[in-house]
Amino acid sequence: MKIVYVNDVVYKYAIGDPSANGGAERYGWYLMRALAQAGWSVTVGVRFALQAKEVKVIDGVRFLGLAHRQHFLLDWYSLLKGEQPEWCFWQCADHLWGPAAEIARYLGVRTAFSTMHDLDVQVRKAQIGRKSLWLLYLWGLERSDLIFIQHYGQRGYLPLHLQQRTYLLPGIVPLPERVIPHRERNRTVVWAAVIRPPKRPDLLIEIARRLPTVPFIVCGAPRQSHWEPQKIDQIMKDLRSLPNVDYRGHVAPEQTVQAIGSAGVLLSTSDGEGFPSVFLEAWAAGTPVVSMQIDPDHKVRDHELGKVADTIEGAVEAVRVLMASTERCQEMGMRSRLHVEEIHCPASAVQAFETAVARITAVAKT
């Protein structure tokens, strides 16, 4: 079976470029690599980082340079026409998914769309570049053969006829060879994300202020386009002024994983997510999560993989309690590691992907 995908940041992750960032793209790389290792023929189109028709193969994934750099849909058409795959793959809400899905259908290629945020299934609220073109995005969902969701809570937002095409696709996370016991850790709280409004860095700042004896490490640079200049200037000033906050800016993905694996707790203040990849990275490293609001399919609560707090006070107390008990963190960390080993390994994701493809194929033949 052959599948294609277009994404330059996926290529950055594949070559280990330290400037790579984005949970969706990181997951896209892990999934494409897993499919290739399972026997799929995988081609990822690269629009800017490779010359036209230049090919590089990394871990079984074929990266192909595209030609029409200023015309995405021409690149998309040329890739599908030239590669003639059975399937194409797309992540995240975008008005371009409408015409892209129609082009795929015209060429006889089946379409798999993958959500990366809860708003991806709330079409009018979806985070697309041109809000007025949300109908084009809806058109793409309507023309999708498969819609992959990150957790079951996302399904209910879709119309009933689209729910019939939805399948759960678990995230993938590489497993560190060694999990550092909590008694050997530096007992920091790590916050890791691109600094933009939905991540609520203002809540991080308030929590850090209320825990002056607890050291915090912050990994992430601001995305200027999402802020009013005065607002982001104040956020950055506050982060840099707190004596218990080590603000590191953008760091390479491997360095972020190292910081998380040495910490006592990962803190998430986000008020809007899908299934955060940073949760999986924390759990794989045996680090429990303290999250404000975000708890996909109640995994944190039900499996005791950390704590969920709805208020600043609750988050402060959760961090304080966990940081005071290496034994409790160790217990949660062990459960977290076992959870991702079972549910979020490449084999589980490939099985879910192939099961969905087989069911859609079987329905199409009846």
Looking at the chain, the whole-number percentage of residues with pLDDT higher than 90 is 85
pLDDT at residue 335 tops 70:
yes
Determine, yes or no, domain membership for 120: yes
pLDDT at residue 365 tops 70:
no
Q: How confident is the model at residue 240 (pLDDT cuts 50, 70, 90)?
A: very high
pLDDT at residue 55 tops 70:
yes
- Kindly tell me the sign of the dihedral angle through the C-alpha atoms of 4, 8, 13, 14: positive
Q: How confident is the model at residue 127 (pLDDT cuts 50, 70, 90)?
A: confident
Q: How, if at all, do strands 55-58 and 41-46 pair?
A: unpaired
Pair (151, 186) in one structural domain: no
- The number of distinct structural domains making up the chain is 2
Q: What is the mean pLDDT of the chain?
A: 94
Pair (48, 160) in one structural domain: yes
pLDDT at residue 197 tops 90:
no
Give me the mean pLDDT over the 14-32 stretch: 92
Pair (358, 325) in one structural domain: no
Pair (244, 98) in one structural domain: no
Pair (87, 105) in one structural domain: yes
CATH of the domain at 279: 3.40.50.2000
Pair (60, 108) in one structural domain: yes
CA nearest neighbour of 52 among 25, 79, 29: 79
Give me the mean pLDDT over the 65-74 stretch: 88
Determine, yes or no, domain membership for 226: yes
Q: What is the pLDDT of residues 265-308, one digit of tens each?
A: 999 999 888 999 999 999 999 999 999 989 999 999 999 999 99
State the residue range of the domain holding 332: 182-343
The b-or-e profile of 80-94 (16+ CB within 10 A means b, else e) is beebebebbbbbbbb
Pair (321, 353) in one structural domain: no
Pair (166, 188) in one structural domain: no
Q: How confident is the model at residue 68 (pLDDT cuts 50, 70, 90)?
A: confident
Pair (56, 145) in one structural domain: yes
Give me the mean pLDDT over the 203-212 stretch: 97
Determine, yes or no, domain membership for 97: yes
d(CA 123, CA 305) in angstroms, rounded, equals: 31
Pair (264, 127) in one structural domain: no
Q: What is the pLDDT of residue 37?
A: 97
Determine, yes or no, domain membership for 307: yes
Q: How confident is the model at residue 361 (pLDDT cuts 50, 70, 90)?
A: confident
> What is the C-alpha radius of gyration for the chain, rounded to an integer number of angstroms?
21
Pair (161, 186) in one structural domain: no
Determine, yes or no, domain membership for 177: no
Pair (194, 150) in one structural domain: no
* pTM of the predicted protein model: 0.90
